[in-house]
Amino acid sequence: MAQYAVLVYSPAPADPMDLTPDYVALLERYPAQVAELGGQIVTGFALQPSTTATAVHGDIVTDGPFIEAKEVVAGFYVLEAPDLDVALKIAKLNPATIHGGVEVRPLFTPPAE
């Protein structure tokens, strides 16, 4: 199956400790919904709030995220799905689409030599 990175966007600062019980319940149901559509979450990670970010531009290191934004990357997961159409159907069910959004990107596979 093809693999896709799904980047989860939430309103800044996207602190995972601020999730409501209702939202957590939606997150807990999500893997079963993914499986119903023929996909599988391979691995996933929530990120610390964007206020903990450190940006590196060449030799310059600064506190804070790379850019100021209303929405930030709150986490990501790797999804296996038969094809992009199924991956997008799965992404539409992600609870983050309610108040933020998700971005689906195929993982790069180097060409065979």
**What is the reported pLDDT for 25?**
97
Pairwise CA distance, residues 14 & 12, whole Å: 5
Residues 59-80 have a mean pLDDT of 88
Q: Where are the beta strands (DSSP E) in the chain?
A: 2-11, 40-46, 54-57, 60-63, 71-81, 101-106
Report the alpha-carbon angle 75-80-82, nearest 5: 140
Confidence of residue 87 (pLDDT cuts 50, 70, 90): very high
Q: Which residues pair with 99 in a beta bridge?
A: none
Report the predicted TM-score, pTM, of the whole model to 2 decimal places: 0.89
Full set of structural domains in the chain with CATH: 2-106 (3.30.70.1060)
Contact (Cβ atoms closer than 8 angstroms) between residue 79 and residue 40? yes
**What is the reported pLDDT for 57?**
85
Tell me: the pLDDT tens digits for 11-69? 999 999 999 999 999 999 999 999 999 999 999 999 999 999 998 889 989 887 777 78
